[in-house]
Amino acid sequence: MAVTRNLPPLSSVRSFEAAARHGSFTLAADELAVTQGAVSLQVRKLEAYLGKKLFLRHPRKVELTADGAAYFEACRRVLADLENATRRMRSRDRNELLIISTIPTIGQLWLMPRLASFTDAHRHIEVRVVSDIRPLDMQADGIDVAIRVGPLAGRHYARDLPGIDLTLVQRWDGICADYLFDDVMVPVMSRRLYEQGGPIDSLADLASFELIHTASRPNAWRDWLRAQGAALPRRRANLEVGHFYIALRAAQEHKGIALIPDVLLDGYPGRADLVVPWRPARPVKSAGEYYLLVQGAALERPAIQTFRAWVLEQAREFAGTLPAAPLVAVPSASVSAGSMPPGSTSPESLSSGSLPPPMSIDLADAQK
């Protein structure tokens, strides 16, 4: 007698896994190349199939329920195993496959606009980009290289630096890290709002506007102001959004001032409508940086060597330029690349022909 497997529709599982990984139906839709409504429909079908609520739906974000979190872990493992098996099968006869994991907004606004130059130059390397905000688990997720932001294990940061509420990796054993660039937050508002309410000559002027908060960095405004000797003003209400892309969109729509990593501005489609109304005399660096992460055992793979050289060159070029957010309202400071994490190399010294070895993280430091 044939046994029928009691399995949910794969399309629903893919939509749910992507939405849970991003914490956003919108970003899941971007990844899957479908509409937000299609993702929502597939998730509802899965919830009906399971008889369980998987998400709590809020006006500007979604949140996993306890059942949803447990089911997400199971779906993530199954899809990772399926993807790895497919990758091994296809790689026997096809070009080398490189799987890149990145946090959503840096992938969408920094990596993707540049990636065509890599794929055009290296057509023998098939590139697949996946987005995830969880701490990296390269082996479990079948990841070759990753771009993440957060505090480096074993490095001590001054208490007054703005915090980053993200963890780079789950386990540091065998992971090597290349420094890419600092995390520097800048205030961003629409050109129209600035023209209506400016000029902005001080932090007090800045804080008189509605401040847009981002759920992925809930304390960003407080920490950024405190690092400059100011305090977050008390006000009746502030707008909170799920991630930086939505914060940029809200700023573009004149909703207030968003605090955004400067690395994201260059690739934002609506950057012509935005201004950086005020910059401190010295950039306020966060307690963490952006890193390229790779397993040490995989460093000799030609595709990884090629991608590593390319992405370090892209980081070097970015570190030497200002983000392309036009109409900076006051003279702005250059992005600083002078304060490197211990043991790293300044991006200016990197070239694709001669690369220094990445940092290997001591497990004793990682566990501190």
Q: What is the pLDDT of residues 163-220, one digit of tens each?
A: 898 888 887 878 889 999 999 999 999 999 999 887 888 888 888 889 999 988 889 9
Provide the percentage of residues in the chain whose pLDDT is more than 70: 83
Burial 95-106 (b: 16+ CB within 10 A, else e): ebbbbbbbbbbb
Tokens representing residue 70 in the block = 């447990």
As a whole number, mean pLDDT of residues 281-306 equals 88
As a whole number, mean pLDDT of residues 331-349 equals 31
For residue 89, give the H/E element and its range.
helix 66-91
* Residue 335 reports pLDDT greater than 60: no
As a whole number, mean pLDDT of residues 20-33 equals 87
* pLDDT for res 16: 94
C-alpha triplet 201, 245, 189: angle, nearest 5°: 20
pTM, to two decimals: 0.66
Task: Match 């409508």 to its residue by tokens.
Answer: 273
* pLDDT for res 38: 92
pLDDT tens-digit series, residues 252-263:
999 999 999 999
Instruction: Indicate the average pLDDT of the chain.
Output: 81
3-state SS class at 151:
coil
* pLDDT for res 325: 33
> Rounded to the nearest 10 degrees, how much is the dihedral formed by the CA atoms of 298, 300, 304, 308?
110
As a whole number, mean pLDDT of residues 343-354 equals 32
User: Are 352 and 309 spatial neighbours (Cβ–Cβ below 8 Å)?
Assistant: yes
User: Are 256 and 221 spatial neighbours (Cβ–Cβ below 8 Å)?
Assistant: no
* pLDDT for res 354: 45
* pLDDT for res 106: 92
| Confidence band, pLDDT 50/70/90 cuts, at residue 314 | very high
* Residue 110 reports pLDDT greater than 50: yes
Alpha helices in 94-164 (DSSP H): 104-106, 112-121, 138-141
* pLDDT for res 92: 52
Provide the percentage of residues in the chain whose pLDDT is more than 90: 40
* Residue 355 reports pLDDT greater than 50: yes
User: Are 285 and 183 spatial neighbours (Cβ–Cβ below 8 Å)?
Assistant: yes
* pLDDT for res 253: 95
* Residue 316 reports pLDDT greater than 80: yes
- Which position has the higher pLDDT, 234 or 315? 315
- Which position has the higher pLDDT, 32 or 323? 32
* pLDDT for res 367: 47
Q: Is the dihedral of CA 303, 304, 309, 311 positive or negative?
A: positive
Task: Match 């990197």 to its residue by tokens.
Answer: 350
- Nearest-angstrom CA–CA distance, 112 and 92: 27
* pLDDT for res 322: 43
